[in-house]
Structure 1
Amino acid sequence: MKIKRYFAPDIRQAMRMVRDEQGPDAVILSNRRVEGGVEIVAALDFDEQALRDKLEDAEAAESVEVAMSAPAPQVSAPVLSSAVADEPPLRATRPTPRGEQRPEAPRPRSRLEPSTSTVGLLARLRGATPAPARATPSVGGGHNTETVPATVKASRPAPNAHFRSAGEDASAASRFSHEPQPAPAAGANAEVLAVLQQELRRLGKVVDMRLMEAGWQAASRDSNTTRLDLLRGLCDRGFAKAVALNIANRLSTLTDSEEAWRQAKDLLVRQLPVADDQLLEYGGIVALVGPTGVGKTTTIAKLAAKFRLKHGPRQVALVTVDNYRIAAHDHLFTYGRLLDVPVAIASNAEELRRSLQGFLDKKLTLIDTAGMGQHDARLAEQLSMIKDCVIPIKPYLVMSAANQLRGLEAVIRSFGSCQPKACILTKMDEAAQPAAALSVLMQHRLPLSFVANGQQVPEDLHVARADDLVQGCFDSVHEDGDGTGGYGFEDWIANGAS
């Protein structure tokens, strides 16, 4: 069985380390929060039989140690402590002199010997509670009223004590068989192992919940209820952990909850970067980049339609470099015919340069790019063509607000090589928690230029306003009911989302 300890800043990274190194069959033995993160102890190739053998060996070694450390009792005759009623009478034997070896006759495994190690073991199995000894019959038929703890202490027989007869032995055996017997060590070990195995299975299934409770209890020790209210509220609205902690820590001195929330909204508005290039006023050469399916071509049509309505059809031109999809140009050419604006196709860097030079008389030139996955090898080639063009091009990153937090972060990392100047958020109407997209923009300081909340051209494209967007994050809570969107404060702590 391979046991290893892992340290990580949060539970997600720790669990990822366990899965990467030990695989999905790893068993979580323990977890706790430590300074700087989380500690997890995981095991691989868990062998229940090996653990059972180790426990039995440990208890056997402990009983032997107790027997060797206890003083040997002085007995004048052996006394039978347990027997079965149908056994023959026990013959008297002389005590074995010190140093003399006496061969041991085979005995049934069920017989218990009156040694201090056995008595001590029974006491431990009973919960380490000393049991009073039974009254020992005296010579005159009476009973000795002195009780001796059933531990390592042995009773001395009276000097004139005689051996008990076979009938007395049978009577004692009968009394012994009717008394509650301590569970044998093997049974106790089996019970302990069963409980341990059940606990390990439970920990393996609910390790995230256990860590969540630990994190929440640690946070609950904070006497500042306003800070906790801000953390929970911002989390339920979908804001990233780093953003929520920043806001809550800056307002931790406030005691009025309403004032704290008012200032929290103001801080969010100030932290959300908004582009001030006024693209629809002054135009420029802009390329829309982003993953597949986010609506780049439709967004280009919306921008071109808005600019045409304000400046006329002769001030807008469209260029496409999407040469990877079948009939990819048809969509853009359809918009060009509807808007009565020219459309050009560029399959390489040189054709792109010539097309842009031919449209230098236009105020606004919009470039449509191919939608690719973040791991597509052709993505770097396309981004390089835009970045290295001799005519300056401003890349605008298009992202779907309906995407999750980690997916949005992956998009920004993948398209970071082209250094986008601004961002356009689409599918705002489909986003259960638009605060996740706003959090990514806050953390990466990427200015937001436009938002789209539908498919209609050009009505569903709007200039980004920070106050409206932040207020929309709080309004969505009332529309959705609890506002958690399936990802609440407890999940936020357990998963360590940032």
Structure 2
Amino acid sequence: MKIKRFFAADMKQAIRMVREDIGPDAVILSNKKVRGGIEIIASLEYEEVLEQKEEAFVEREATMAASSKHDIDDSTALAMTIEERAAMYAAREEAAVVPTAAVEPKLEVEVPVLQARTERKSAPVEIEWSPDPALSGMQEEIQRLRGMVENQLTGLAWGEMGRSQPQRTELIRRLTGMGLQIDLVRELVDHVASISDVDQAWRQLLLLLAKTLPVSSDDDFLDHGGVVALVGSTGVGKTTTIAKLAARYALRHGSKNVAMVTTDSYRIGAHEQLRTYGQILSVPVHVASDADSLKKVLKSLSSKKLVLIDTAGMSQRDIRLSEQFATLQGGSALVQIYLVLSATAQKAVVRETVKAYQGVDLDGCIVTKIDESASLGGVMSAAIQSNMPLAYVTDGQRVPEDIHPARAHTLVKRAVEFQRAHDDMIDDEELALAYGGKLVHAHAR
């Protein structure tokens, strides 16, 4: 008896291999799933196999009649010729494309084995693939080598630009030292590419930056009054800023014309902190826990020229942000909303915060803790890229002295002072990776 073992990705391909190698009269003795596909054992001696299996079939026939109709006679099934098995799979595929409603069960199959097979649901063959450890290691090594090559190319690109365009390199270094975003730095430097003198180009850059930085058109929005809400992350100084704004307005127009409202029902002691400021300033403080109560409170304060709303501090990833938005927008359509950003926050955090509050129609931004920061580039970049006007800046804890209307030239001047004070902290390798990488990718495109 000629017996051979075949391996293939699926049953159809395996049957094709058996037919080509042994012939159409081949007999499949066994088949099983193995890693990578299907294993089939086949033989050429069809009659001999039937004789060997006949006794086993007769012995099991009685047991099959008492058991489920869907049981399969393995011995007979395994003894099917390759032509029969191929015909069976072809029939399955043909039946798969015919709509169920069009199929009429008119044929009665007399062969028990084929009847059992038609009753049984054909399940798709599931092949389990496992990653080759050698291949995985090779991929990791390729990625590591690629990273090394890219780092070397970026360093070379940055070094080449330093030799061929020393003025551009120096301007990029200074703007980066101010903490500005990479893409914004490149746009600004492109505007002064025609100026050969680095100092003259630097002065033009600062003027362009001040012109680009959006600030509130009003000298002081407090003069107009209205309903103003401050939103932002925890710890950015919203409550203290509310107190500064209230004190500033009370000094000009009297404490009877201003009121404060808090919607912070999450933080322990939040109400008490604002009430303390209210007692010092002789300004009433009210509490609103939801949109309905806020609407009622604002209606009761309609005689006040200025109402300042202190909201709960929330992370930019907090799922309750949408509730806060709904509360403010449901309280009154006339609420002016200002986002409070800390100058001490990382650039990535500032960007993420601004993005999180895009669902609110912001009227502007207030930058706090400038006195504690080493850079203003993060908040300046966010304001420019989102076109969000800066209204106020705070630079201390004193109430109300340490709050000022935002002035573009003043902010740029202060940013340059920070840059000069921390010029020795600029990482040239980080610059090379950031800007050299941009150059490499630009040439690659």
TM-score (normalised: structure 1): 0.57
CA contact (8 A) 1:399 1:423 kept: yes
Superposed CA deviations along residues 268-307 of structure 1, whole A, max 9, x for unmatched, are 0000000124222222210000011111101101111111
- Over 3 Å counting, the alpha-carbon distance change for 1:446 and 1:49 in structure 2 is closer
Q: Determine the C-alpha separation between the residues in 1 that align with 2:136 and 2:429.
A: 41
CA contact (8 A) 1:401 1:437 kept: yes
- Over 3 Å counting, the alpha-carbon distance change for 1:357 and 1:391 in structure 2 is farther
Q: Determine the C-alpha separation between the residues in 2 that align with 1:333 and 1:494.
A: 54
Secondary structure of 1:377 counterpart: coil
Q: Which residue does 2:346 correspond to in 1?
A: 404
Q: Which residue does 2:189 correspond to in 1?
A: 248
2:277 counterpart of 1:339: no
CA contact (8 A) 2:370 2:395 kept: yes
2:372 counterpart of 1:441: no
Q: Determine the C-alpha separation between the residues in 2 that align with 1:49 and 1:438.
A: 44
210-219 or 409-418, larger mean C-alpha shift: 210-219
State the AA in 2 paired with 1:230. Answer: L
2:209 counterpart of 1:265: no
Q: Which residue does 1:181 correspond to in 2?
A: none
Give 1:477 deviation, angstroms. Answer: 2.4
State the AA in 2 paired with 1:234. Answer: L
- Over 3 Å counting, the alpha-carbon distance change for 1:422 and 1:237 in structure 2 is same
Question: Of 268, 276, 290, which residue of structure 1 is paired with 2:217?
Answer: 276
Q: Determine the C-alpha separation between the residues in 1 that align with 2:199 and 2:178.
A: 17
Q: Determine the C-alpha separation between the residues in 2 that align with 1:402 and 1:449.
A: 18
Written as runs of structure 1 = structure 2, the 5 A alignment for 1:32-431 is 47=134, 203=145, 209-210=151-152, 212-217=154-159, 219-220=161-162, 223-277=164-218, 278-431=220-373
Secondary structure of 1:472 counterpart: helix
CA contact (8 A) 2:177 2:423 kept: no
Q: Determine the C-alpha separation between the residues in 2 that align with 1:367 and 1:424.
A: 14
Give 1:431 deviation, angstroms. Answer: 1.6
Aligned residues: 308
State the AA in 2 paired with 1:249. Answer: D
What are structure 1's unaligned runs of at least 5 residues? 1-43, 52-196
Q: Which residue does 1:467 correspond to in 2?
A: 409
Give 1:261 deviation, angstroms. Answer: 0.6
CA contact (8 A) 2:295 2:330 kept: no
Q: Determine the C-alpha separation between the residues in 1 that align with 2:326 and 2:233.
A: 16
CA contact (8 A) 1:215 1:494 kept: yes
CA contact (8 A) 1:433 1:485 kept: no
Q: Determine the C-alpha separation between the residues in 2 that align with 1:284 and 1:494.
A: 50
State the AA in 1 paired with 2:343. Answer: A
Q: Which residue does 1:97 correspond to in 2?
A: none
State the AA in 1 paired with 2:181. Answer: A
Q: Determine the C-alpha separation between the residues in 2 that align with 1:463 and 1:413.
A: 24
RMSD across aligned C-alpha pairs, in angstroms? 2.9
CA contact (8 A) 1:226 1:254 kept: no
State the AA in 1 paired with 2:199. Answer: E
Q: Determine the C-alpha separation between the residues in 1 that align with 2:137 and 2:429.
A: 41
Q: Determine the C-alpha separation between the residues in 2 that align with 1:464 and 1:420.
A: 16
Written as runs of structure 1 = structure 2, the 5 A alignment for 1:466-485 is 466-484=408-426
CA contact (8 A) 1:476 1:483 kept: no
Q: Determine the C-alpha separation between the residues in 2 that align with 1:339 and 1:50.
A: 68
Q: Determine the C-alpha separation between the residues in 2 that align with 1:462 and 1:207.
A: 50
Give 1:495 deviation, angstroms. Answer: 7.7
State the AA in 1 paired with 2:391. Answer: S
Give 1:206 deviation, angstroms. Answer: 5.5
Superposed CA deviations along residues 67-109 of structure 1, whole A, max 9, x for unmatched, are xxxxxxxxxxxxxxxxxxxxxxxxxxxxxxxxxxxxxxxxxxx
- Over 3 Å counting, the alpha-carbon distance change for 1:204 and 1:227 in structure 2 is closer
Q: Determine the C-alpha separation between the residues in 1 that align with 2:207 and 2:229.
A: 32
- Over 3 Å counting, the alpha-carbon distance change for 1:362 and 1:47 in structure 2 is same
Give 1:266 deviation, angstroms. Answer: 0.3
CA contact (8 A) 2:262 2:311 kept: yes
Q: Which residue does 1:458 correspond to in 2?
A: 400
Give 1:471 deviation, angstroms. Answer: 1.1
Secondary structure of 2:401 counterpart: coil
- Over 3 Å counting, the alpha-carbon distance change for 1:390 and 1:479 in structure 2 is closer
Which has a greater percent of helix? 2
Secondary structure of 2:391 counterpart: strand
Q: Which residue does 2:89 correspond to in 1?
A: none
Q: Determine the C-alpha separation between the residues in 2 that align with 1:289 and 1:426.
A: 13
Q: Determine the C-alpha separation between the residues in 2 that align with 1:470 and 1:290.
A: 24
Q: Determine the C-alpha separation between the residues in 1 that align with 2:428 and 2:320.
A: 36
Q: Determine the C-alpha separation between the residues in 1 that align with 2:340 and 2:273.
A: 18
Q: Which residue does 1:20 correspond to in 2?
A: none
- Over 3 Å counting, the alpha-carbon distance change for 1:256 and 1:387 in structure 2 is same
State the AA in 2 paired with 1:314. Answer: K
Secondary structure of 1:253 counterpart: coil
Secondary structure of 1:482 counterpart: helix
What are structure 2's unaligned runs of at least 5 residues? 1-130, 439-445
Give 1:230 deviation, angstroms. Answer: 1.5
- Over 3 Å counting, the alpha-carbon distance change for 1:323 and 1:444 in structure 2 is same
Identical columns (%): 39
State the AA in 2 paired with 1:366. Answer: L
